[in-house]
Amino acid sequence: MSPALRLSTILMLGAGGLFTGGVVWYSWERVWIWRRLTLRAYAIDFRRSLLKADPALPILLLISAGGAGSFASFSGGSARMLSLAGIALLTVILVSSLILAEPINSQFRRVPEGTVPQSADHLRQRWRRFHLVRTALAVAAFALFVTAVSYASP
Amino acid sequence: MTDVWATSMLISGALFAGGVASIAWERLPAWRAAELSDFRVAFAHTLRRVDRLQPVLLVVCLVSTIGFALGADGNSQVPALVAAAGFLAVLIGSGALLVPVQRRLVRAELPAPEAERLRTLWLRGHVVRTVVAVAALVLAVVAAIS
């Protein structure tokens, strides 16, 4: 494996692994707890969580997708196809997050802390369903990247 | 067979390291700033969920990394063994140091200074565990492509 392909793989799997582990953790821990909170407690915790997660997870996604793009350009055959399929899934996550999740996020961000946005319970449900789908896509993308590496020539 | 071990090592390692890194990044600042009583309630809720999943992921990852190392050649074996040592250190450190602290924080009646000391100890321990877990994941990736 060339040094460039090696670096691409480390970025793709390292950042992709942390991104996937992060969204799975949200599904497993935060989403479960948020369902049980009062709307006011949820609005506070969700808003604070966004402030931390919003820069970190998209950055990890972009680093992983960039690494995967570089990996695809340096490899061929099944390894390239699998990594491109993984990039496609990450793109779906990114675009759908901007279209579906971000409007929900901004409703919580716009209000002062402690204020519950209108239809907060409905927004909580929609965000939860969306995040569970996004989690499944992230796990699938990471599995594609791992499989792609197993097809890359050593 | 090495591919099966590698796949299992990378997926379980990523989910484990990503999980502990997320707690370090997202929960730790909130817990550090919270009132002690609020922290203990929130901490107990998180433990209820995380303690069901993270230890399983860590054990699967450790076994897979050892399995991968045993079947690998020299170039892959060394980083895989170092990664396995890192995951093992996290497992032993968590069981020996952090779990007893967690139990006391969640269950025991504690004077405030002692609870504060335990909170600080746990937060620091978790940061160390996160650094080791992420480094072990990177080494596992290096091993898989060497």
Cβ within 8 Å, pair A14-B138: yes
> How near does any CA of chain A get to the CA of B60, in Å?
15
CB contact under 8 A, B19 and A147: no
Model confidence over A42-69: pLDDT tens digits? Answer: 999 999 999 888 889 999 999 999 999 9
- pLDDT value at residue A154: 58
pLDDT band of B74, cuts 50, 70, 90? confident
Instruction: Please state, in angstroms and rounded to a whole number, the distance separating the CA atoms of residues B126 and B28.
Output: 9
| Nearest residue, CB atoms, A29 vs list B13, B46, B137 | B46
The residue written with tokens 């707890």 in the block is A33
pTM: 0.93
- Mean of pLDDT over chain A: 94
Alpha-carbon distance B136 to nearest alpha carbon in chain A (angstroms): 11
Domain count for chain A, please give it: 1
Contact between B111 and B93 under an 8 Å Cβ cutoff? The reply is: no
Residue A153 confidence (pLDDT):
60
Residue among B14, B21, B144 whose CB faces A149 most closely = B144
Confidence of residue A14 (pLDDT cuts 50, 70, 90): very high
| Amino acid in the structure at residue A28 | W
Query: How far is the C-alpha of A57 from the C-alpha of B22, rounded, in Å?
Result: 9
Task: Work out the number of other CB atoms within 10 angstroms of the CB of residue A95.
Answer: 10
Do the Cβ atoms of B90 and B61 come closer than 8 Å?
no
* ipTM rounded to 2 decimals: 0.91
Using a CB-CB distance cutoff of 8 angstroms, which residues of chain A are in contact with residue B30? 45, 48
CA-to-CA distance for A11 and A123, rounded, in angstroms? 34
Give the range of the structural domain holding residue A133, as residue numbers without chain letter.
3-151
Give the per-residue pLDDT at A90.
98
The region that residue A119 occupies, defined by phi over 0 for left and psi between -120 and 50 for alpha, beta otherwise, is: left
Extents of the domains making up chain B: 2-145
What does the angle CA A9 – CA A21 – CA B119 come to, to the nearest 5 degrees? 130
